[in-house]
A and B are shown apart, each in its own frame.
Chain A
Amino acid sequence: RKEVEQDPGPFNVPEGATVAFNCTYSNSASQSFFWYRQDCRKEPKLLMSVYSSGNEDGRFTAQLNRASQYISLLIRDSKLSDSATYLCVVIPGTGGFKTIFGAGTRLFVKA
């Protein structure tokens, strides 16, 4: 089983739609969770951290479910500019803070 698993997609949605991505992780001792965004042929950029209580940043909402070991990202009112690959990132509790990346979920927002 992979340490971090994501649905690769692609998700094709119209502008204005709401779309949700899930990500599961295998290490129950994992401590930190993030969503990164990567545009084609560019480096990943931090989108948002994921907190236990859930957190929201504008149109983006992230949630963590420790019992089921998954995190989610909800995007409301999708924009064309949201088209990208979204990477789920987990930092385990051990291993020198090694960062584990999911394979990413591709999102295409269409006009």
Chain B
Amino acid sequence: GAVVSQHPSRVICKSGTSVKIECRSLDFQATTMFWYRQFPKQSLMLMATSNEGSKATYEQGVEKDKFLINHASLTLSTLTVTSAHPEDSSFYICSARDKGAGASEQYFGPGTRLTVT
């Protein structure tokens, strides 16, 4: 099956620093990738939709200047959390839609657990 990887799987950073998270589709091309955030015992919340070669579309309430998304190729999207604060500590998950498989199924990365101290 299709595989999506994320790196790093876990990161601890100090308040005020920036953190970059990578999302890669390993065996398929993904024109669209999604970034989600999940707080403990809560559901996945879509942050933004990332389309290869164009600007990301952010959900209401998500600051685009704080969460920078770059989708430079069909297999890589990055999320940079700038000037991180403790309230940004969360589980960040990306997913990718296979370009060749239609619009229905998404494949999720294993997630990145961010802790801001």
Contacts and interface: CB of A to CB of B under 8 A. Distances in A.
Nearest to A88: B43
Contacts of B106: 46, 99
| Main secondary structure on A side of the interface with B | loop
B110 to A, nearest CB: 5
Contact of A43 (B104, B105, B108): B108
Interface stretch (A12-20, A54-62, A76-84, A100-108): A100-108
Contacts of B44: 44, 87, 101
A99 B95 CA distance: 10
Size category of the binding interface on chain A: 20 to 34
A44 B106 CA distance: 10
B104 A91 contact: yes
A111 B87 CA distance: 38
Contacts, number: 46
Size category of the binding interface on chain B: 20 to 34
B111 A98 contact: no
Interface of B: 32, 34, 36, 42-44, 46, 49, 57, 91, 93, 95, 97, 103-106, 108-111, 113
A66 interface: no
A32 B57 CA distance: 21
A96 B57 contact: yes
B97 A102 contact: no
23 contacts: A32-B103, A32-B104, A41-B91, A41-B113, A42-B111, A43-B93, A43-B110, A44-B93, A44-B108, A91-B104, A97-B32, A97-B97, A97-B103, A98-B46, A98-B49, A99-B46, A99-B95, A100-B46, A101-B44, A102-B43, A103-B42, A103-B43, A104-B43
